[in-house]
Amino acid sequence: MDPRLGRMASSSLAFLLLLEGGMFSPSSPPDGLQERVFQYIDLHQNEFVQTLRDWVAVESDSVQPLPHLRRELLRMMAQAADKLRHLGATVASVDLGSQQLPDGQTLPIPPIVLADLGNDPKKPTVCFYGHLDVQPARPEDGWLTDPYELTEVDGKLYGRGATDNKGPVLAWINAVSTFRALEEDLPVNTKLILEGMEEAGSIALEELVQKEKDRFFAGVDYIVISDNLWLSRRKPALTYGTRGNSYFTVEVKCRDQDFHSGTFGGILNEPMADLVALLGSLVDSSGHILIPGIYDHVAPLTEEERNMYKAIDLDLEEYRNSSQVKKFLFDTKEEILMHLWRYPSLSIHGIEGASNEPGAKTAIPGRVVGKFSIRLVPHMDMSVVDKQVKQHLEYIFSKRNSSNQMAVSMVLGLHPWITNVKDNQYLAAKRAIKTVFGTEPDMIRDGSTIPIAKIFQDVIQKSVLMMPLGAVDDGEHSQNEKINRWNYIEGSKLFAAFFIEMAKLP
C-alpha cells in the first residue's frame, strides 16, 4: 500500500461513535426489534465489510468493451443472484442476449437480476434498484491503493464501486439479511432489480421495465434508488429531483484532409475558427446560456422551494476547498444550489479533430467536431431545446459568411426527474433518518442525470425515492473512490429502519 495513506484503521465500533470527529451525537436507542436489528448490524459489521470486499474484487467494468471484463460482469451478476437466493429470495436472471459493437465483435450483455422476498398482501412492497457495474480504474491513473482490493484507511473503505453502487446495494441486502438472521419477518415485501450496464447506458433496461410492468412490477408500491451522494460529509440527505441531459455535436467541415498552414493559411475559412466562434456563442463568462428562449420553460421558483434551499446545511468555504475551485460564479448557498439543481447549465466537453498532442503541430484541421451538453430541468421540452440550439448555431454560422459546411445533431436526450417530497415513503425515510442519525435530512436535488428514476416513474407510475448513503467526498467515478465504514454500516441500519417505518404506513 502507498505510504501516503498512513496507517490502517482498526475495524472497531469506536469509529462509529467518533463519526469523523464528532459528526453527530448518538441518538437515543430505539426499542425492541429495531434495537436488536441495530445491535446485530454493529456486531456483524466486519462480515458486511468482507462481503463488500468480495464484490469490489470483481472487475465489473461495463465501459470498456473487452471480453474478459464481460466475463467479470457475468460473474458479478451471478454472485449477487446467489447471495439473494441464500436469503430465500425467488431470483430470476433475465438473459438480454448480446451486443454488436462497431468493430464487429459481439459481447454478451450481463443479465438483469430480479428478486422477490415476501408476498404478504397486508404489507407494502418496496422495490430497490441498483447496479453492479463500475467505471474503469487503473492504479497508474492515480489510485493510492489497488482499485479492486477494498482497503480500509482511517475508517474509509477505498475501492472501485464501493460507493457507486456496490456498497448501497449491499447495505440493502445487509438490512434484509439481519431480519433473516434474527428470525424475524421482514416488515415489508421487498423486490430488487440489479443491472450490470448502468455505466454504459443501461442497455435494454427500459425495454425490460416495460415488459415486466404487469409481471415483476405488478405488486410494487414504492421504488427506492440509492445511487447518488449526500451534499455533505456529515449530514444525510434525501434526493427529490435530477436534471436531464441533451448532448450535442456540431461539425464544421471544409474537406476530410488537414491543410498545411503555410500553404493554405490565409486563403480559406478555417473550420477550427468557425467552430470556436460557434462554441463561444453558447454561454457567457457568468455561466448564462446565450441561446434565445432557453430559459422560457424553466419551472418558476416557489417560495416553498426557496425555503428548502435555505434549510440545507452547506458550508460554502468547505465546499469550495474540497472542490479545489478558486472561485464559484455565485456567492450565496441558495444561488449555487439553484444553479446546480433547478436551472439549466451548458458545458463544452471537447473538440474532435483538434491537435491535442505535445509539440508545435502547424496543420489546419479540415474537419472538426465540437461536443457540448445542456442539463435540462422541469419543465423544459427536449424537442424545443433541440430546435433552439440548431436555430441559434445556424444564425451564428450564417453571420460568419463561411464557405464551410456545418451540421448540428442532438445525439443523446435524457429527461429530468422530480417527485413530491410529501409522498408517504419520503415521510417514512425522514423518520428513519431521524432514528438512525439523530437529525433531519437535507432535502436535495442532483445536478446530474439518473434516467432510471424517470423511467420507473413514467412506466410503473409509482413513487420513486432516492435515498443516498455516500458522503459528498466519496469520489464516485474518480480515483480513490471510497465509502466510509460509518456510512456503509449506518446505511444498513437506515434501510432496516426504513422497512419498519414503511410497515407503519396505511
Q: Is residue 1 part of a domain?
A: no
- Mean pLDDT taken over the chain: 92
The answer to whether residues 211 and 143 touch, using CB atoms and an 8 Å cutoff, is no
Q: To which H or E segment does residue 16 belong? A: helix 14-22
Q: Do 233 and 380 fall into the same domain?
A: no
Q: Which residue in the list 72, 195, 198, 270 is annotated as catalytic?
A: 198
Cα 140 from Cα 153, distance rounded (Å): 20
Q: Is the pLDDT of residue 12 over 60?
A: no
Q: Do 109 and 151 fall into the same domain?
A: yes
Cα 419 from Cα 433, distance rounded (Å): 19
Residue at a domain's end among 414, 437, 468: 414
Q: Quick check: bond before 401 cis, omega within 30?
A: no
**pLDDT value of residue 24:** 39
Average pLDDT over residues 427-452: 96
Average pLDDT over residues 448-470: 95
The answer to whether residues 239 and 445 touch, using CB atoms and an 8 Å cutoff, is yes
Residue at a domain's end among 398, 414, 430: 414
Q: Which residue in the list 61, 72, 116, 133 is annotated as catalytic?
A: 133
Q: In what order do the strands lie in the sheet with 151-153?
A: 151-153, 156-158, 482-484
> Which of 214, 305, 312, 241 lies closest to 464 in space, CA to CA?
241
Q: Is residue 376 part of a domain?
A: yes
Q: Do 273 and 205 fall into the same domain?
A: no
pLDDT band at 14 (very low <50, low <70, confident <90, very high): very low
Q: How many CB atoms lie within 10 A of CB 88?
A: 14
Q: Do 490 and 475 fall into the same domain?
A: yes
**pLDDT value of residue 81:** 98
Q: Is residue 10 part of a domain?
A: no
Q: Is residue 385 part of a domain?
A: yes
Q: How many CB atoms lie within 10 A of CB 77?
A: 22
Q: Do 388 and 490 fall into the same domain?
A: no
**310-337 pLDDT tens trace:** 999 888 888 888 788 899 999 999 999 9
**140-190 pLDDT tens trace:** 999 999 999 999 999 999 999 999 999 999 999 999 999 999 999 999 999
Distance from CA of residue 249 to its chain's centroid? 24
Residue at a domain's end among 382, 414, 446: 414
Q: Do 186 and 41 fall into the same domain?
A: yes
For residue 147, give the CATH number of its domain.
3.40.630.10
Q: Is residue 5 part of a domain?
A: no
Q: Do 452 and 491 fall into the same domain?
A: yes
- Give, in degrees to the nearest 5, the angle at Cα 190 between 186 and 191: 155
198 is catalytic: yes
For the residues of 404-436, what is the DSSP string, one character each? SEEEEEEEEEE--EE--TTSHHHHHHHHHHHHH
Q: Is residue 81 part of a domain?
A: yes
Q: Is residue 183 part of a domain?
A: yes
pTM of the predicted protein model: 0.87
**pLDDT value of residue 313:** 85
What's the domain range around 361?
244-298+343-414
**352-366 pLDDT tens trace:** 999 988 999 999 999
Phi/psi for 369 (5° steps) reads -130, 120
Number of domains in the chain: 2
Four-residue CA torsion sign, 147, 152, 154, 157? positive
133 is catalytic: yes
The answer to whether residues 77 and 134 touch, using CB atoms and an 8 Å cutoff, is no
For residue 365, give the CATH number of its domain.
3.30.70.360
Q: Is residue 312 part of a domain?
A: no
Strand partners, 61: 134
> Which of 157, 371, 147, 336 lies closest to 251 in space, CA to CA?
371
Q: Do 238 and 252 fall into the same domain?
A: no
Q: Do 267 and 382 fall into the same domain?
A: yes
Q: Do 421 and 456 fall into the same domain?
A: yes
Q: Do 406 and 481 fall into the same domain?
A: no
Q: Do 84 and 176 fall into the same domain?
A: yes
Q: Quick check: bond before 46 cis, omega within 30?
A: no
The answer to whether residues 445 and 287 touch, using CB atoms and an 8 Å cutoff, is no
